[in-house]
Amino acid sequence: MGHHWFKNHMRSKRKAFLWIWRMWGFIILVILAIVFTTPCLAINISGCSVLNQPGETYYLTADIINSGTSHCINIYANNVTLDCQWHRIDGDDSADYGIYIYRSSQETTNITIKNCIVTDWYSANIYFENASGNTLENIVANSGRRYGIYLYYSSSNILQNITANSNSLYGIYLSHSSSNILQNVTVKENQYYDIYFYASSPSHCNNLLQNVTGSGDRPIEYYNYSINLENKTLAELILCNASNSNITNITIKGSDTKKNNALLVYHTTNSNFRDINSSYNYYGIYLRSSSSNTLQNVTANSNSLDGIRLYYSSSNTLQNITANSNRYGIYLYSSYSNTIANSTIQNNSQYDICIYKSHSNKIYNTLFNSSANFHFSGAWLAILLIVVLLIVLIVLYRTKMD
């Protein structure tokens, strides 16, 4: 009997031990689950701040109004999320930047900025420099004194659900920046350009724009490949490294109340532009580093600056051009061997044609009618005057010999 009691006692102890072991195992699993699935505690901010904790999520819990702090939200750390929760980051029109991301050299910063209203900053509402691999979503960047959003040497960013209206210079400005995606963007009533790209090389042309609406609720289109485009009215058209394109029957019409936007052509060759009307804009047509193109039946009237500007663009043919009532009708800057023929260029406020550091251009069968038709400047002006002087001397010499 004592033997059976001992066996039963040991069996009970074993069951109790197993039960305790299982309970502790369950408790340990629960603790591990909590540790490894609970996110880092969020950091709440209610005013201008330096965000310097990598991997953290910052929540803006109150509006910032009329701030004079020039780098209001300075995102110093990488892998950060800023959720403004639709609070406002508002400047006093003198302080420089609302949201500021700066790195001394190019790097992938992996920052997410979302649900923010950023307004009234002097330099830019949102500024990125040397900062790549970021996401901006659900952003309003209106009424900046210069730029709504400015990306400088910043690539592979996603800008999604963006509004950048009524900025005093540019809505969105990309400089030396590539592989950026702009989706579902509204940029209207910006003074110079709704969207502007500064592409110093074709490698900066590798950007994607989808569903972008510009001034007058008209679309903005961007192409970095050969395109046959016709029969459209656009707020802005940008061709960047889009050689061998055919652009036909296109009207560029920016704001109904501001003269903004243009037809912008960068690093594009061997393309045809026919039946184009780009009037009452900032520029009519601007070719930069784009050669061997044909512009035919083009109207570029009453633009704030130039009807047509060629900048480092050579061997282009301009035929049947009407460029009236601009600042300059046609401006050639360091552009050679272009031909302008069968055109009307008149009533421009400065000069009908301005030629700066450009030579070997042919202009014929063209009507001018302004108080100042031509303006030559740069080194080639001196050469031109020497040539004219030599011709005069030769004529005088031959007259004397006769």
Region 181-202: what's the mean pLDDT? 97
Q: Does one domain contain both 259 and 283?
A: yes
Domain presence at residue 119: yes
Domain presence at residue 176: yes
Q: Does one domain contain both 272 and 197?
A: no
pLDDT of res. 164: 98
End position of a domain, from candidates 205, 227, 252: 205
Q: Does one domain contain both 235 and 197?
A: no
Higher-confidence residue of 30 and 200: namely 200
Q: Does one domain contain both 41 and 183?
A: yes
Distances (CA, A) of 7 to 10, 32, 162, 248: 5, 37, 76, 99
pLDDT band at 13 (very low <50, low <70, confident <90, very high): low
Domain presence at residue 10: no
Domain presence at residue 143: yes
pLDDT band at 38 (very low <50, low <70, confident <90, very high): very low
pLDDT of res. 2: 52
Higher-confidence residue of 67 and 38: namely 67
The structural domain count of the chain equals 2
Q: Does one domain contain both 198 and 219?
A: no
Region 180-204: what's the mean pLDDT? 97
Q: Does one domain contain both 191 and 298?
A: no
Please classify residue 96 by burial: count the beta carbons closer than 10 Å to its beta carbon, then call 0-12 exposed, 13-18 middle and 19+ buried: middle
End position of a domain, from candidates 180, 205, 230: 205
pTM of the model: 0.85
Q: Does one domain contain both 168 and 234?
A: no
Domain presence at residue 183: yes
Instruction: Assess whether pLDDT exceeds 60 at residue 18.
Output: no
Query: For residue 400, how many other CB atoms are within 10 A of its CB?
Result: 7
Domain range for 344 is 214-402
Instruction: Assess whether pLDDT exceeds 80 at residue 364.
Output: yes
Q: Does one domain contain both 228 and 129?
A: no
Domain presence at residue 351: yes
Mean pLDDT for the chain overall: 89
Domain presence at residue 19: no
pLDDT of res. 354: 93
Weakest mean pLDDT among 27-31, 152-156, 264-268: 27-31
Instruction: Assess whether pLDDT exceeds 70 at residue 8.
Output: no
Distances (CA, A) of 85 to 70, 194, 305: 22, 26, 41
Instruction: Assess whether pLDDT exceeds 80 at residue 376.
Output: no
pLDDT band at 203 (very low <50, low <70, confident <90, very high): very high
- The secondary structure of 308-338, three-state, reads EEEECCCCCEEEEEECCCCCEEEEEECCCCC
B/e letters for 270-281, b = 16+ CB within 10 Å, e = fewer, are: ebebbbbbbbbb
End position of a domain, from candidates 177, 205, 233: 205
| Tokens standing for residue 379 | 């080194």
Which tens digits make up the pLDDT trace of 241-252?
999 999 999 999
Region 67-71: what's the mean pLDDT? 97
Q: Does one domain contain both 158 and 238?
A: no
Residue 82 is given by DSSP the state E
Q: Contact 280/304 with Cβ under 8 angstroms?
A: no
Q: Does one domain contain both 133 and 190?
A: yes
Region 360-366: what's the mean pLDDT? 92
CA distance 276 to 321: 10
Weakest mean pLDDT among 8-22, 117-131, 226-240, 275-289: 8-22
Q: Does one domain contain both 176 and 223?
A: no
150: domain CATH number is: 2.160.20.10
pLDDT band at 34 (very low <50, low <70, confident <90, very high): very low
Domain presence at residue 158: yes
Instruction: Assess whether pLDDT exceeds 80 at residue 367.
Output: yes
pLDDT band at 368 (very low <50, low <70, confident <90, very high): confident
Beta bridge partners of 197: 174
The residue type found at 133 is: G
Weakest mean pLDDT among 23-27, 143-147, 380-384: 380-384
Q: Does one domain contain both 243 and 265?
A: yes
Region 173-183: what's the mean pLDDT? 98
pLDDT band at 388 (very low <50, low <70, confident <90, very high): very low
